[in-house]
Chains A and B, each alone.
Chain A
């Protein structure tokens, strides 16, 4: 079992819809969770961090964390073609290493 798992996609949504990206993790001791966006040929860019159970909103982005279920999600409201990218979920394991999922490719169709 991978420490951080994501559906690789691709996930395709129409412009203006809500995109929902999901991630599960295996290390119950993990406390910090991150979503990175990576455009093709570019480096990962941090877009959200979440440390407590519940929701955290930043503009069109909402991160959700459920530690009991070991589940993290990212919602993108009013999806735009410019949101088309690979989204990487990451968390620190108890050894202090940032572990990334394999990423979910999102395609927003005009």
Chain B
């Protein structure tokens, strides 16, 4: 069974530029999560999708971040414009359903904003 796929793996951009990350969850997983992980910290939830509906985006900085999950499968997270403080690893995870506990993480996208 294929795991969670993310691309790109690495991205370097200048501040004020836009950037987008893509995630394809494990087949059949209804719940998709985007996390942000800073160095030396645990992942922090940005947004959770149940199928195509964003049901928890309370931690998403909506002035510059947006996300979508069309057709309830793969998802895109966008930052526009990027700031220096956005440099981090962006992780996508999926689980069969919300509250099932076990979340499976993709390899992440390491973003560097210069």
Contact = CB atoms under 8 A, between A and B. Distances in A.
Interface residues of A, number: 21
Contact of B42 (A43, A46, A49, A103): A103
Interface residues of B, number: 20
Interface of A: 4, 8, 32, 34, 42-46, 49, 51, 88, 90, 92, 96-98, 100-103
* Majority secondary structure of chain B interface residues (helix, strand, loop or mixed): loop
Nearest to A43: B105
Interface of B: 33, 40-45, 48, 56, 91, 98-99, 101-108
Nearest to A6: B42
15 contacts: A4-B42, A8-B40, A32-B101, A34-B102, A43-B91, A43-B108, A44-B43, A44-B91, A49-B101, A49-B102, A88-B42, A97-B48, A100-B43, A101-B42, A102-B42
Given A8-B40, A43-B105, A46-B104, A96 B45 contact: no
A12 to B, nearest CB: 17
Given A43-B107, A102-B41, A92 B99 contact: yes
Q: Which of B99, B101, B104 has the most CB of A within 10 A?
A: B101
A97 B58 CA distance: 11
